[in-house]
Structure 1
Amino acid sequence: MTWQIWLAIASIILIVIGLVKRYETRMLLVVAGFVLCAASEAPMKAFDSFIKGMTNVTLVPAICTAMGFAVAVQVSKCDQHLVAAVAAPMKKLGGFLIPAATILTFLINIAVMSAAGTAATAGATFIPLLLRAGIRPAAAAAAVGGGTMAGLLLNPGCAHDIYVAEMAKMGVMDFIIWAAPYIVGLVFISGAVNAAIMIVKNKDHLAHEEAAAAMGQAEKAQSDEAFKVNPLKAIAPLVPLCILLAASIWFPKAGVGVVPAMIMGVVFIAAVTLTNPSELSKAFFKGCGTGYAQVIGLIVAAGVFAAGLQATGTVAAFIDLLKGSNEFARWGAAFGPFLMAVGTGSGEAAIWAFNQAVTPEAASFGMDPESLGLLAIMAGQFGRTASPLAGAIIIVAGMAGADPFAVMKRLFPGMLVALVAAALVLV
């Protein structure tokens, strides 16, 4: 191996260390990418990648409008109506509240997309409900935390979907329809394993005294019993998804994409909530800016780092290695993003770096880019959900008055089983 490849390996290790120490992700990726390009005597490759990422006409409009719609949903409080609506049937399920809370949180994540936002919104209603049913605080937090992943992949505004679909030369809705059975099945596996451990092994649903002691903390959250659901507001977060599904199934030639669907969703929110249009407009464009700064910024940074890896010859060497062993590709795509996400509390950096550097070459070692891309995404999602450092897990643990590590112990087994299943099924 050349000294540039050794430098690239060292940069990967330093990035992981920096992420564990909670340094800014985009800064780490951009700096490493520029250093690697400069070391390879191709500094302009880093600048070219930076510009390409900032002006990507497929990613930028879709992701920014999707984030704008998400903020409009939060400002109008439509997300609270959605959560309260799905919580109503849960009250008398006993121990089955644990898997029910996971499934319903997963469904809410489709509309809310943000893991932390889903945790805060769903946890405010579900965690007090779980504690009142006598479920141990750590299990209540795990039940909600376990559903804060992968639902966003069923939303056509998800950045990962848009990127992998473009790479696989598929429409976004075509990719989602293809991926949905895998996503739902893998989430069901993780939820079933964890629920079985919590109910059968730990007897977490019989901890009435411990749950009662934690109620003081949880009752600070909004009570579902005191919230009157408006059905129109409850369905508002799902309107863009419904528009895109209807367009792709019945009106494929209409050309309705993510951007018009999200804007129509904001118009629907304005009509059913009578929110001040000026405030809703401010919220929408604030969300667009947040989407650019956070999501597009991370994509740009990961692209610069991927350019550095390519300039040093690391990607080419890695692809040659994968060509000789499909099993290495399978387990590398699974455990690489997973372990990085567990250790750092975020799977985004690993997902974007892998899917920009390696997944485009999937065909060269006998794999489909959509399958390999989805595996890397799911691995990062599973790892983030199993990490006590993840923002969503810290939020639900705080709401329930539980230790994040106790929550992690209840989530890790299911995430690991689902990860292995994903690697075996997807590639």
Structure 2
Amino acid sequence: MGITEWVAVLTIFAVIYGLIKRYETRLVLIASGLFLCLISWNLVGGLNAFAKSMTNASLVMAICGSMGFAFVAKYTGADRSLVHYLASPIRGLGIFLVPVCTVITFFVNIAIPSAAGCAAAVGSTLIPVMLRAGIRPAGAAAAVLAGTIGSYLSPGTSHNPYVANMAHMEVMDFIGFHAPYSILVGAFGVIGTLIMCLILGDHKGDKNAKVDESKLQKNDDGFVPSPLKALVPLVPITILVVGNLWCPFIKMGVAQAMVLGAVVALAVARCNPQTFAKEFFNGTGKGYADVMGIIIAAGVFAAGLKSAGLIDTFVAALKESNEIARWGGSIGPFLMGVITGSGDAATLAFNETVTPHAKDFGMTIEGLGGLAFIAGAAGRTMSPLAGVTILVSGIAMVSPIEVIKRTALPMFLAVITCALVMV
């Protein structure tokens, strides 16, 4: 390798250090990418990558539309209504509340793709229910945390339109491709977390268990659950699934389905249209700033690695053995998810740089790209630094380390299994 390639390797370690220290992700990736472009005498290449990622139409539409709908669901109380009606029938199940609550969280996370947003809505209701049923706080928090991998199946999750666009597939077709593997990982979360809770004695209860009342959603804001509102978060998902599988005449894009879902939310909630519109567009802006921002930054970083020549060297090595790609595309994003608390940056960088070359080493783009983002999310689900882990731990008033003792082994086994069968 040449000097610039060794500098690129050192830069990767610097990026990992910055992410571990929780510096601003977008700043770390963009600064590193432009630095590598500069020393490679290709600064314009990094700037072009920035501009190109900014105007990726399919990603902007899907991500911003989904975030706009998520804000609308929260504003109208539709997310809280959905959780309320899902939680009502399950009281009194004892330790079996753990797998049931994991399944509920998994299901809700498809409709509300933000892990933290889903955990806030679900955890504030289900964690107190589990504590009152005699489940220890760490087990209750782990049950919700393990379910926050349901976003794999959401068309609003950034990785689904990102990899689908790369593979020249429809978003729903790509979700259909990885759905069996995503459900398999979900099964590891449901069954594995229950087994770990039983091994650690979470069914024996804790008489001193309590929740952080400040983190619970209160009903004194006028919230009244509504069965119609509870159906609203399911509208876009239903339209997309039914349109793609059974009724082609209603087939539409992700953004269109999210806008239609927002219109239904407005009709059902009968709220102030002006505030409603502001909330929707606040969500689209948040989606661009937070989600598209990381995608743009990962694109610049990938351009820097390519300009430095490291990508060509890495791809040449992968051509010699697809086993390197198999484990690099799984263990790499998985470990980054664990040590940084977010699988997004590492996964997007991997998918930007390596996944487009998947066919060169005997794999498919959708297979390698799907494996990378599933592994990254699984790593985040067993990270004590992840925002969602800290959130559910805070509600249950327990250490994040205690919580991930219940999710770590199931997630690790799930990633190994996916690496063996998915590519």
1:357 aligns with 2:353: yes
- Check whether the contact 1:190–1:417 (CA below 8 A) recurs between aligned residues: no
Larger mean CA deviation between 360-369 and 163-172 belongs to 163-172
1:266 aligns with 2:266: no
Alignment equivalent of 1:204, drawn from 202, 205, 215:
202
What's 2:185 paired with? 186
d(CA) in 1 for partners of 2:89, 2:316: 53
d(CA) in 1 for partners of 2:167, 2:12: 26
d(CA) in 1 for partners of 2:148, 2:185: 14
What's 2:337 paired with? 341
Q: Structure 1, residues 222-245: CA drift from partner, whole Å, max 9, x if none?
A: 489x98531110010111111111
1:170 aligns with 2:169: yes
Unaligned runs of 5+ in 1: none
Matching residue's letter, 1:321: A
Q: Structure 1, residues 373-422: CA drift from partner, whole Å, max 9, x if none?
A: 11100111011110000000001001001001111111111110111011
d(CA) in 1 for partners of 2:225, 2:68: 24
Aligned residue for 2:271, secondary structure, equals coil
d(CA) in 1 for partners of 2:105, 2:156: 18
Q: Structure 1, residues 250-309: CA drift from partner, whole Å, max 9, x if none?
A: 343655111211111010000111111111100000001000101111000000000111
d(CA) in 2 for partners of 1:155, 1:341: 19
Aligned residue for 1:215, secondary structure, equals coil
In structure 2, relative to structure 1, the CA distance for the partners of 1:125 and 1:39 (3 Å cut) is same
1:42 aligns with 2:42: yes
Map 1:393-404; keep pairs closer than 5 Å: 393-404=389-400
> How well do the aligned residues superpose, as a CA RMSD in angstroms?
1.6
In structure 2, relative to structure 1, the CA distance for the partners of 1:105 and 1:396 (3 Å cut) is same
What's 1:370 paired with? 366
1:6 aligns with 2:1: no
d(CA) in 2 for partners of 1:258, 1:174: 12
- Check whether the contact 2:185–2:411 (CA below 8 A) recurs between aligned residues: no
- Check whether the contact 2:128–2:211 (CA below 8 A) recurs between aligned residues: no
Matching residue's letter, 2:61: P
Alignment equivalent of 1:213, drawn from 190, 208, 219:
208
Matching residue's letter, 2:204: L
* TM-score normalised over the length of structure 2: 0.97
Give the number of aligned pairs. 421
Matching residue's letter, 1:45: G
Deviation at 1:13, TM superposition (A): 0.4
Map 1:116-135; keep pairs closer than 5 Å: 116-135=116-135
1:238 aligns with 2:223: no
What's 2:144 paired with? 144
Deviation at 1:221, TM superposition (A): 2.2
Alignment equivalent of 1:386, drawn from 382, 389, 396:
382
d(CA) in 2 for partners of 1:227, 1:269: 15
- Check whether the contact 1:128–1:223 (CA below 8 A) recurs between aligned residues: no
* TM-score normalised over the length of structure 1: 0.96
Matching residue's letter, 2:181: Y
- Check whether the contact 2:211–2:396 (CA below 8 A) recurs between aligned residues: no
- Check whether the contact 1:119–1:395 (CA below 8 A) recurs between aligned residues: yes
Alignment equivalent of 2:248, drawn from 233, 249, 252:
252
Aligned residue for 1:275, secondary structure, equals coil
Aligned residue for 1:41, secondary structure, equals coil
Aligned residue for 2:384, secondary structure, equals coil
Deviation at 1:327, TM superposition (A): 1.1
- Check whether the contact 2:27–2:297 (CA below 8 A) recurs between aligned residues: yes
What's 1:59 paired with? 59
- Check whether the contact 1:218–1:400 (CA below 8 A) recurs between aligned residues: no
Q: Structure 1, residues 47-82: CA drift from partner, whole Å, max 9, x if none?
A: 110000001111112211111110011111110001
Deviation at 1:220, TM superposition (A): 6.2
Unaligned runs of 5+ in 2: none
Larger mean CA deviation between 159-168 and 348-357 belongs to 159-168
d(CA) in 2 for partners of 1:181, 1:300: 30
- Check whether the contact 1:106–1:148 (CA below 8 A) recurs between aligned residues: yes
Larger mean CA deviation between 16-25 and 87-96 belongs to 87-96
Deviation at 1:217, TM superposition (A): 3.0
What's 2:297 paired with? 301
- Check whether the contact 2:8–2:310 (CA below 8 A) recurs between aligned residues: yes
Q: Structure 1, residues 162-215: CA drift from partner, whole Å, max 9, x if none?
A: 11111112111111112111101111113312211111x1120112xx2x4222
d(CA) in 2 for partners of 1:105, 1:267: 25
In structure 2, relative to structure 1, the CA distance for the partners of 1:161 and 1:90 (3 Å cut) is same
d(CA) in 2 for partners of 1:405, 1:165: 35
d(CA) in 2 for partners of 1:132, 1:110: 27
Matching residue's letter, 1:319: V
Aligned residue for 2:380, secondary structure, equals helix
In structure 2, relative to structure 1, the CA distance for the partners of 1:216 and 1:45 (3 Å cut) is closer
Larger mean CA deviation between 243-252 and 339-348 belongs to 243-252
Matching residue's letter, 2:101: A
d(CA) in 1 for partners of 2:125, 2:29: 37
d(CA) in 2 for partners of 1:216, 1:338: 30
